[in-house]
Amino acid sequence: MTIVQKQHQSVVFLASEEMEQAGGVAHGFSTRLGGISEGMWASLNLGVSRGDDPDHVRENYRRFLEAIGAQGSRVAMSNQVHENHVRVITKADVKEDPYEKVNYEADGLVTDLPGVTLVIFSADCLPILYYDPVRQVVAAAHAGWRGTAADIAGAVVRKMEEVYGCDPQNILAAIGPGIGPCCFETHEDVPNAMMSAFSTPVLKYLHIQENGKYSVDLKGINAMRLEKAGVPTENIGVCELCTSCHPDLFWSHRCVGTNRGSMAAAIGLK
């Protein structure tokens, strides 16, 4: 699968060509470009807990959802905790104001409700979007290193199988912009967690540096776990852009810490 950069009016975002061609779904990975926020949140901040002006954030959502082709403003959001819980989104979880409280914790969301856009947040962690065009099911996941070690990528596929009868062979999965191995340098705790979870197959994604720290390829590990869950290699797209390398285009926690906005990845059945 191929992930490309697109633009609608002033909003710059990324999307999977194959998901677009499959039809029936609106989706996209936001950048930091095209909103109305100011200062350290400039300009397309979609984080509702960053201290930004709520009216600016609401307008940013309107612009982003319009850009990706989402119908209306009905959304379901995640309260992310870096684990592998996947929530099945029902009508009770849907809201129209992004500032309405989320009363559950989940790093994965899945639904077959048309007209509802699933939203997850990132600023170096990996956003993953899923679409089964046969069963008409969509999902979204937030994969930081802890969620990666907990196999959130595979947990979403298994939930799609369990609840909706999806065949992993039909699922399209797009891994969006996130920190790359070029910038994700860690101590032993991260590679140890990956080895404990996945054993020797993960070794090719872990590389020791001259300074004794490790470079970790989270995108490669999550793609591997999607394949392990049954998603065909040709159905997996990976955005190669590193959020830490491109602070002009993306929010990056590693670059600027907490004084920043947040990106969102969103997907919904039309």
Helix, strand, coil distribution of the chain in percent, nearest 5: 30, 25, 40
- Cα separation values, 247 from 6, 10, 46, 265, Å: 18, 18, 16, 17
Q: Give pLDDT, residue 71.
A: 80
Q: Give pLDDT, residue 72.
A: 84
Decide yes or no: CATH 3.40.50.1100 for domain 3-269: no
Domain boundaries, the chain: 3-269
Mean pLDDT by 10 residues, the chain (270 residues): 98 98 97 98 97 98 98 92 98 97 97 98 98 98 98 98 98 98 97 98 97 97 98 98 97 93 98
Task: Compute the distance between CA of residue 147 and CA of residue 208 in angstroms, rounded to an integer.
Answer: 22
Q: Give pLDDT, residue 264.
A: 98
Tokens of 56: 């600016």
Residue whose C-alpha is closest to residue 168's, from 226, 126, 223: 226
- What burial class does residue 158 get, using C-beta atoms within 10 Å of its C-beta: 0-12 exposed, 13-18 middle, 19+ buried? middle
Task: Compute the distance between CA of residue 44 and CA of residue 198 in angstroms, rounded to an integer.
Answer: 36
Q: Give pLDDT, residue 266.
A: 98
